Amino acid sequence: MCFEKEVIDLLKKYNISHSVFLPDSGLKKVYSEIIGDSYFKVITVTREEEGLGISSGMYLAGIPNIFFIQSSGIGNCFNAIASLNFAYQIPFLIIANYRGFHNEQIETQKPFGQMLPKLLKSSNLDYHIVTNTSKYIIEEYVQNYLYNQTTGVLLISPEVY
């Protein structure tokens, strides 16, 4: 099953109708599927930190949601992650196109791509690098977010698309 279909099916299975999105090339098929499906409410944002604030506000209102971004944007979120999500224990689930990892063509993406797993680990952020279309790991992270109120980051390697 293709990645975007797997994601859409999972979101519908778990009644997650809301998502916050900063469009990215790797996730463009997910974006166009979600935008084109009347089941979903998508909030497109201008910057990743902004999106995390919106995701957090939705969560406070009792609306679970998924936050889709490019992995480089996680770097723009650390202050909010610490002083909003960690401080108030507001979970989030980020699904990110992982740049600077597999066959990356843009040199400037590589430094942060290499740093990112170490940053996530040192921040005690649970993350997983998804290298094949394995529905189980994504579903596990969705379940943890919904039922255990835990925060997670899924870095989707381009080889998945």
Partner 1 sequence: MLNRKNALEIIFKYISNECVVTNIGNISKAVYWNHDRKSNFYLTGSMGLVSSVSFGLSYGSKKVICLDGDGSLLMNFGSLCTLGHYKPSNMIWCVLNNGCYETTGGQQIFTSTAVNLRSIAENCGITNSYTIDSAQSLNQIFPTLLKNNHFSFLEILLEPSNMKYPKIEIDPLYNKKRFIESL
Choosing from 56, 71, 72, 97, the residue that interacts with partner 1 (CB under 8 A) is 56
Rounded Cα distance, 104 and 102, in Å: 5
Task: Note the Cα 114 to chain centre separation in Å.
Answer: 18
Q: Is 94 in the site for partner 1 (CB under 8 A)?
A: no
Task: Kindly state whether residue 88 participates in binding partner 1, applying the rule CB under 8 A.
Answer: yes
Q: Name the residue nearer to partner 1 (CB basis): 79 or 108.
A: 79
Under the criterion CB under 8 A, does residue 125 sit at the interface with partner 1?
Answer: no
Q: Which helix (H) or strand (E) holds 6?
A: helix 3-13
**116 makes contact with partner 1 (CB under 8 A):** no
Residue 129, interface with partner 1 (CB under 8 A)? no
Using CB under 8 A, count the residues that bind partner 1. 31
